[in-house]
Structure 1
Amino acid sequence: MADRTIWSNRQPIVLETTSLTTVLDALINNHSAPSTLIICSTKDDFISALSDAVALDSLPSQRRGTSTNPIDIDMTDADDSTNEEARHQKVAEHPLLQPTLHMLTSTSDLKLTFCPSTPHTLAYLSLLSVKAADTTRATATPVPILAILNPIAQHEGTRSWSAQGLSKFFAAAASTAHDIGAKLVVAECRGGTRPVPLDEDDLWAQVDAENGLRQEEPSSWDEEVAITRVKAKGVAKRDLGWQGRMVKLRTVAEKWCRFVRLPED
C-alpha cells in the first residue's frame, strides 16, 4: 500500500493499478507545481476511456467464497431498473467528470498533454529536456511530477513493441524527469477497455458476468514481450516478426522504476 512519502522523493515509480480513476485521483491530490501529465492517446480516446472507467467503478466488486470462508448472499430479487438508474446517477456525479471549482483549481498547475503515437511521446519528452537545459533544475520540495499514462498500450502493435523499444521509452522518460527535476510516475490503466476472458468451466465467473459484477483484469505488467524485434529471412510480410526469448514488461520497467500499489476503492 502506498502512502504520502512516495510523492516526496524523486525515485521513479510505476503505479501498479488498472483503475484510471484511482490514478487520476492520486495525481491530482499529490502533484506539485509545475507538474506534467502525458496521456499516450488522443483526447477523444482518453475521455471515452475515462467515462468507461467511471462506469466500471460504479459496478459492484466481484466477491468469491470458498469452502472454508463462505459468503452469505442475499438471494432476494432486486429491482434491476432502480439499480441501473442509481449507477447512471453515480457516473454522472463522479468528480472526475464534473468541472467543479476544486478540480479546476487543483489542476491549474498540472499541464495536460496528449500524445497520439509513440514518436509523439518521445518527441515531447525530448522537447521537455531541451527546454529544461535553459532553466535551473529544481531541487527543492515539494517535488513536481512527470506522469505518463498508458505508454505500454501505445507501444503495443508497433515496431517498438519489444523490450528494446520499451527500454528506449523508459530511458527517455527517466532522463527527462531528471532533467526537469521531477518525479517520474508511469501508469497503465486498461480496466474497462478490454474484457477479461471467462473460464468456461468457472460457473461463478459466468454468473458474475451475467449479473454485471466486474472481473479483475490481470496486470499488464505481467505480460511478456520479445527481447528484440527482428525480421527473420523468408518470413511473410503479414507476420509481426520473429520472436526470440521473452521477458515480462515488469522486468523491463524495474530497471528504472519501483512498483507501488495504490489502495483502490
Structure 2
Amino acid sequence: MTPTVISPASPVELLHYMITYQRYPTTLLICSSDDEFRAAIAEELKGQIPEEQLQQEPDEFGEVIIDHPLAALPIFRRVVARHLRVLFVPSVIHLRAILSVFSQADSPIPPPPEEDSENTKQGARPRPPSLFAYGFLELHRDSSEWSAQGLSSSASMFVAAARRSGFNPVMVEPKAAGGLANFEHVLREHAPILSGGARRDEGWQGRTVEVRRVLDRWFRFQTGQWDTKWPEDNAS
C-alpha cells in the first residue's frame, strides 16, 4: 500500500472516480466545509450544462437539480449508496484531530449486503480500501501550517492513520487550487521550512522547499484516471 499523490481533479471528476472505482469501506476526507464543496460541484456542473436545462429551484435537500449523469440523484446520496464514508474537514486542526483517532470501526456507514458474501468466497482477495484526502495542500496553504514542518506533521499523521486501519493513503488536490495550473506546478510550489514564516510580495522570507520534496518522503506521484480516459470513453 504505497501512499500516493494523484494529479489534481475537479470535484465532479473526483466523485465520478469514487462512484466508479471505490467501494466500502473507502473514506473520503474533503478538506473544506460541506457548503463550499457543494457549491463547487454546482458551479462546475452549471458550466457543463446549457442554461435552459438547469432547474434553479432547490429540491427538498436544498440542492439545485441539474440534468447531468452525476446529478440524476444528489451526488452524496450516490456516494453513500456505494457505502463510502465522507467527512468534511474545514481546518488543519480538524484534520489532525480526525486522523489521530481515525478507525474503520468508528464509521457509521454499514457494509453493503453483498460485501460479506463476496469476502467469504474461497481465495477472494478484495482490494484494500483507501483513505482519500481531497484538498490537503489547499487546506494548509492559507494557514500558519503552510511549511515543510506543518505539511510533514500532517502528512505523517495521514499515512499513519491510513496504515493503522489497513487503508491505502491517497491525496488529490482540486484543479487550479492556489492559482496553480497543473500537477507539476502544484509539486513545485514552495513552502517555508518552519511554520509561521513571514510572506513577502515576491515569496517567502527565509529558506523554502518544494512541496514535492516534502511529500516525497512518503508518497509516490501519479496521473489520475481523469487525466487519461474513462473506460466509457475508450469504448466509444
TM-score, normalised via structure 1 length? 0.63
More strand by share: 2
Matches within 5 A, 1:28-177: 28-56=19-47, 58=48, 84-85=50-51, 92-99=66-73, 104=78, 107-129=81-103, 141-177=126-162
Aligned partners of 2:24 and 2:129 also within 8 Å: yes
Out of 155, 168, 193, the residue aligned to residue 227 of structure 1 is 193
The 10-residue stretch of structure 1 (182-191 or 97-106) with the greater mean CA deviation from structure 2? 97-106
Residue 205 (structure 2) pairs with residue 243 (structure 1): yes
Aligned partners of 2:5 and 2:171 also within 8 Å: yes
Aligned partners of 1:37 and 1:112 also within 8 Å: yes
Q: Which residue number corresponds to residue 64 of structure 1? A: none
The 2-side partners of 1:98 and 1:245 are apart by: 50
The 10-residue stretch of structure 1 (103-112 or 156-165) with the greater mean CA deviation from structure 2? 103-112
The 2-side partners of 1:194 and 1:240 are apart by: 15
Give the partner amino acid of 2:131.
Answer: L
Instruction: Kindly indicate whether structure 1 or structure 2 has the higher relative contact order, using CA contacts under 8 Å at least 6 residues apart.
Output: 1
Over the matched positions of the two proteins, sequence identity in percent amounts to 28
Aligned partners of 1:32 and 1:142 also within 8 Å: no
The 1-side partners of 2:210 and 2:21 are apart by: 29
Aligned partners of 1:221 and 1:249 also within 8 Å: yes
- Find the structure with the greater CA-based Rg: 1
Q: 1:55: how far off? A: 3.9
TM-score, normalised via structure 2 length? 0.70
Q: Which residue number corresponds to residue 136 of structure 1? A: none
Gaps of 5+ in 1: 1-9, 60-83, 133-139, 197-216, 232-238
User: Are residues 116 and 48 of structure 1, via their aligned partners in 2, closer, same or farther at CA, if it must alter by over 3 Å?
Assistant: same
The 2-side partners of 1:195 and 1:129 are apart by: 34
How many pairs align?
195
Give the partner amino acid of 2:73.
Answer: P
